[in-house]
Amino acid sequence: MNLADRLIVRHAGISDYQQVYAAMVHYTRLRNAESADELWCLQHSPVYTLGMAGKTEHIIDPTDIPVIKTDRGGQVTYHGPGQLIVYLLLDLKRRGLTIKGYVNLIEQAVIDMCTGLAITAQRRQGAPGVYIAGKKLASLGIRVKQGCSYHGLSLNIDMDLQPFANINPCGYPGLSVTQLADEGVRLNIAQVFNCLLPHLLKQLGFACYTETRVSDFNMFETVTIAG
């Protein structure tokens, strides 16, 4: 198999943010030119994450939900059960992608998935993500080191949206959020990922993939990453 076609898709359940974050950093630090690209599909326990340039004033009503500083781009967002997380650990240099082009491809995959679900979704100039009638459905936050990306996409499916009311989502006061359930789509996390994956593969140029399940992201702290 051509190295550029190698993709590993790892599935997990509800996972601790800090554990997964540490695993992403570890994987990216140790990977080499022969390492396969990976997609991690999971959910998070309730957590607010604040990007590198994130301003705490965008947390307008602090709660007992933890706030974790991270190294992705962007401001503050919320993650919780019922939201699909797709972390993309890709060698952008190998795929010939610029950061802007990469973000556009992910957005397009979500837009195309929505079209297949009979929903009209759009980009918003200057505000990465995917929107439905001005309400944010999906958020993007990435980090690139030595040409390799990590972090990725969060897509609201069927979750408690109330915690978004305690922040300025992505740093935009008054920004409304939505989810697929509120747009009439009754699919679970696995079903939505199965709808989204073909569009991600098409946009990112992968011909095939292998799937596996992760029960403990700590495994990335104890193994050498193979090509």
DSSP-derived letter for residue 177 is: B
Distances (CA, A) of 134 to 73, 101, 178: 22, 23, 9
Residue 142 phi, psi (nearest 5): -130, 165
> Which pair of structure tokens corresponds to residue 97?
């992608």
Identify the active-site residue in 41, 114, 170, 208.
Answer: 170
Sign of CA dihedral 197, 21, 168, 100: negative
Distances (CA, A) of 7 to 20, 125, 207, 209, 214: 19, 31, 9, 5, 15
Nearest to 179 by CA among 82, 85, 103: 82
Looking up tokens 């997990």 gives 12
Q: Assess whether 208 carries a catalytic annotation.
A: no
- Please list, in sequence order, all residues whose beta carbon lies within 8 angstroms of the beta carbon of residue 7, skipping any fewer than 6 positions away: 36, 37, 38, 39, 201, 206, 208, 209, 210
Catalytic residues: 170
